[in-house]
């Protein structure tokens, strides 16, 4: 009774920001607050400068747009950090939503809930300037002959194994930083990331990185789509989906994507 009362009072007193929707009221960890988790650290261009509170970067911006659509003012959004494992472990979660480029897959969906996708990620191949000078081209034949590295917690490995079917078995790493180290040590020629991550890694983390090409996401049978992760059976899911649908319809999601993920053009498609 008390929570309902508080919620009502909050709804009555808050103006503007709270007026949009009451769907999420009482369904979050803390009433009146939306707790969103991101990675530790969170990478460009998803979150700029590892500071999601600033709302800069694609996922940070989407998070604040979602919150606003669901009736939470920006100051009522709190951020926490989780690893991938913490996001999927059983038991209570310390977040309402977790946004860190989680690819939606049927297997994962059995254990946790995903929102509708907020981004369809083209997969892209990162390699080195030396490999390109050595004759690497964005063609399947060329990709097959390369030594591959992927990050274990991503969906890249099945893509490499099924789509590219490389001659040598890929090496697998914990995170982007280790991929970078292995590539600089000459242990791998190529790595598969989502395009924005590939562009960032090639430009910032690597001295000699280059994005060789991207797979056409519209041609993929099951394109890599990012969704916000929630506890299995989360009551919040319909609200998040509704808010995402509203953001998509109003064109706001596309605008955020255009603002933060713009430099995707100009990367050749892999033939």
Partner 1 sequence: MSTRRAAYEARQRRRANLLAGASTLVVLGLLVLLVPLAPGWAAVKSSFFDGEIFARTFPDLARAFLINIAIFAWSVPLIMVLGLAIALARGARAPVLFPMRIFGAIYVDLFRGIPVVLLVYLVGFGIPGLGLPRPWNSPYIWGTVALVLTYSAYVAEVLRSGIESIHASQRNAAICLGLSERDTMRYVILPQAIRRVVPANMNMLVALQKDVALLSFIGPVEILRQAGIFKSLLANFTPYVVAAVIFLCVTVPATRYADYLMNRDRDART
Binding site for partner 1 (CB under 8 A): 84-85, 88-91, 105, 107-108, 110-112, 149, 152-155, 157-158, 169-174, 178, 181-182, 184-188
**DSSP at 36:** E
Q: How far is the CB of 172 from partner 1 (least distance, A)?
A: 5
| Structure tokens, 87 | 């996001």
Which residue's CB is nearer to partner 1, number 107 or number 249? 107
Which residue's CB is nearer to partner 1, number 18 or number 84? 84
Phi/psi of residue 256, nearest 5 degrees = -65, -40
Q: How far is the CB of 248 from partner 1 (least distance, A)?
A: 25
Which residue's CB is nearer to partner 1, number 76 or number 154? 154
Distance CA 187, CA 182 (A): 5
Q: How far is the CB of 34 from partner 1 (least distance, A)?
A: 23
Distance CA 219, CA 110 (A): 26
The DSSP result for 124-156, as a single string, is EEEEEHHHHHTT--SSHHHHHTSPEEEETTSSH
Q: How far is the CB of 151 from partner 1 (least distance, A)?
A: 9
Length of the chain: 271
Which residue's CB is nearer to partner 1, number 18 or number 114? 114
């Amino acid at each position: 009774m008390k929570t309902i009362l508080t919620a009502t009072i909050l709804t009555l007193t808050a103006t503007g920001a709270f007026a949009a929707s009451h769907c999420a009221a009482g369904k979050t960890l803390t009433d009146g607050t939306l707790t969103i988790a991101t990675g530790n650290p969170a990478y460009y261009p998803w979150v700029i400068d590892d500071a999601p509170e600033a709302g800069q970067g694609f996922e940070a911006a989407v998070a604040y747009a979602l919150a606003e659509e669901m009736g939470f003012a920006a100051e009522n959004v709190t951020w926490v950090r989780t690893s991938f494992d913490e996001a999927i472990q059983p038991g209570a979660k310390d977040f309402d939503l977790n946004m860190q480029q989680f690819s939606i897959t049927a297997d994962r969906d059995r254990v946790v809930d995903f929102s509708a996708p907020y981004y369809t990620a083209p997969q892209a191949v990162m390699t080195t300037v030396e490999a390109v000078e050595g004759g690497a081209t964005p063609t399947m034949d060329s990709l097959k002959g390369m030594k591959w590295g992927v990050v274990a917690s991503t969906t890249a490995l099945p893509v490499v194994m099924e789509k590219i079917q490389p001659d040598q078995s890929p090496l697998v790493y914990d995170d982007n930083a280790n991929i970078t180290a292995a590539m600089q040590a000459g242990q791998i020629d190529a790595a598969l990331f989502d395009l924005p991550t590939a562009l960032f890694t090639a430009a910032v983390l690597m001295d000699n990185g280059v994005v060789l090409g991207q797979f056409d996401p519209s041609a993929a049978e099951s394109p890599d789509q990012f969704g916000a992760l929630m506890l299995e059976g989360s009551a919040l899911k319909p609200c998040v989906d509704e808010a995402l649908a509203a953001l998509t319809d109003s064109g706001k999601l596309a605008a955020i994507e255009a603002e933060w993920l713009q430099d995707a053009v100009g990367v050749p498609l892999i033939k």
